[in-house]
Amino acid sequence: MLYGVSNIGIAIRWAYDWIGILWFAATLSIAASALLYLAFASLGRLGPVLDWARDWIHLPLILTIAIFGILHSPMVEVFLVVAKLVYSLLLIRLACKSDSLQLVRLGAMSMTRQLLWISAIMLVISIVVDVAISIDFALYQGSYSERLVGIVNLLVLTFIGWAAVFAGSRLSSSDEETHDQQNTDSKTIATAPADGYPESISEKTRHVADSQTEHTNQATNEDTKSVLYKLEQLLVEEKLYADTELNLQRLARKAGVPARTISKAINTHTGQNVSQWVNRARIEAACVILENAEVSVTQAMMDSGFLTKSNFNREFRRIKGCSPTEWRASTDSKNNAPRTE
């Protein structure tokens, strides 16, 4: 919304040659950058998104740009570019930190990190445009700025529109899948066995961890090994993999160790990130459940901790190389094959 209002201010400036409104557009632009950073930063820390005691430091920067803009000082352009550069670097820093998205559900971790990178890149593009406009006014009296602003805004708005449609379609598909799952639940008589498969899953996940460790060149130590073993117990024996809202913060709280330690232990000994590691355990659990022919694929998906069929099928294919239905069919054919003495 701030971005849209800021563009209205820029349009008025070009339509009526009202330079005095530029301070308003500049202030909204930097305020939007600050809120963008705070929104992503809130995904890695407890408490409200905006906290005056913690986030007051952003306000002086916004006020400074507003004051320089009102006074028609040329320094406003310098401060605007520097401020956007700072926020873009802060976003990139968040994107590079392994524990910056502790409160994000592990199933959505990959997409959230992609959006974080996209936001940082778009902010960098905004900086490049601001610098180009400043150069244009300094050398060519702004002859090309109007065209440049129009083209860039058209591209950005097209991207935002596409993103909105994509997000809406994902939400709609999730709702439909949830509805289908509820219908399946009402029709399913048999359920997955409550006992008997934690040990099987534990053996498979430990086998994966051991095989990955043999191919990693990173140094290992007893501390991270003990952390990984504890995490495996929590994930498998206490069935944390079935928690659809599981995130890094919750996993760290259960294990009693910092989130960064968890990321390091999993990455060091398995070569995977936290989301991949948890999804592998979920897929192994799903495979054990799918061995029961009376349990539907949708029920296996829900019992193993996945929320949507698309994510379940994608991860299943990534780990097993086939779809859940194909895996079940191949398993049934092996079990029904005649034995040879």
pTM, two decimal places: 0.69
CB 134 within 8 A of CB 77: yes
Mean pLDDT of 20-45: 88
Instruction: Count up the domains in the chain and report the number.
Output: 2
216 and 168 both lie in a single domain = no
Structure tokens at 191: 């359920």
SS3 content of the chain, % helix, strand, coil (to 5): 75, 0, 20
Q: Please check whether residue 180 lies inside any domain of the structure.
A: no
15 and 158 both lie in a single domain = yes
Which pLDDT tens digit goes with each residue over 77-135? 888 899 999 999 999 999 988 778 888 888 788 888 888 998 899 889 888 888 888 88
Last residue of a domain, one of 130, 147, 174: 174
Last residue of a domain, one of 146, 174, 202: 174
Q: Please check whether residue 54 lies inside any domain of the structure.
A: yes
73 and 149 both lie in a single domain = yes
- Residue 340 pLDDT exceeds 50: no
164 and 79 both lie in a single domain = yes
CATH number of residue 299's parent domain:
1.10.10.60
231 and 136 both lie in a single domain = no
87 and 203 both lie in a single domain = no
Task: Give the whole-angstrom CA distance, residue 296 versus residue 8.
Answer: 53
CB 304 within 8 A of CB 289: yes
Domain limits at 196? Answer: 191-334
Q: Please check whether residue 182 lies inside any domain of the structure.
A: no
Q: Please check whether residue 185 lies inside any domain of the structure.
A: no
229 and 257 both lie in a single domain = yes
263 and 329 both lie in a single domain = yes
Question: DSSP code of 47?
Answer: S
73 and 197 both lie in a single domain = no
- Residue 68 pLDDT exceeds 80: yes
Structure tokens at 238: 């206490």
Which pLDDT tens digit goes with each residue over 177-209? 444 444 544 444 334 444 444 445 555 555 554
Instruction: Identify the CA nearest to 252 among candidates 267, 271, 235.
Output: 235
Q: Please check whether residue 128 lies inside any domain of the structure.
A: yes
Higher pLDDT, 13 or 303: 303
- Res 203: pLDDT: 56
Q: Please check whether residue 181 lies inside any domain of the structure.
A: no
What average pLDDT does the chain have?
A: 78
- Res 270: pLDDT: 84
Specify the range with the lowest mean pLDDT, choosing from 4-18, 102-116, 246-260, 266-280: 4-18
For 266, 276, 277, 315, the CA distances from 319, given in Å and listed in that order, are: 17, 10, 11, 6
Mean pLDDT of 154-176: 67
Which pLDDT tens digit goes with each residue over 204-252? 555 554 555 444 434 445 677 888 888 888 887 778 888 888 888 888 8
Each as own residue / partner, the long-range contacts of residues 119-125 (CB below 8 Å, 24 or more positions apart, any chain) are: 119/36, 119/40, 119/91, 120/88, 120/91, 120/92, 120/95, 122/156, 122/159, 123/33, 123/36, 123/84, 123/87, 123/88, 123/91, 124/88, 125/152, 125/156
89 and 150 both lie in a single domain = yes
205 and 93 both lie in a single domain = no
168 and 278 both lie in a single domain = no
- Length reported for the chain: 341
CB 246 within 8 A of CB 106: yes
Q: Please check whether residue 183 lies inside any domain of the structure.
A: no
- Residue 339 pLDDT exceeds 70: no
- Residue 333 pLDDT exceeds 80: no
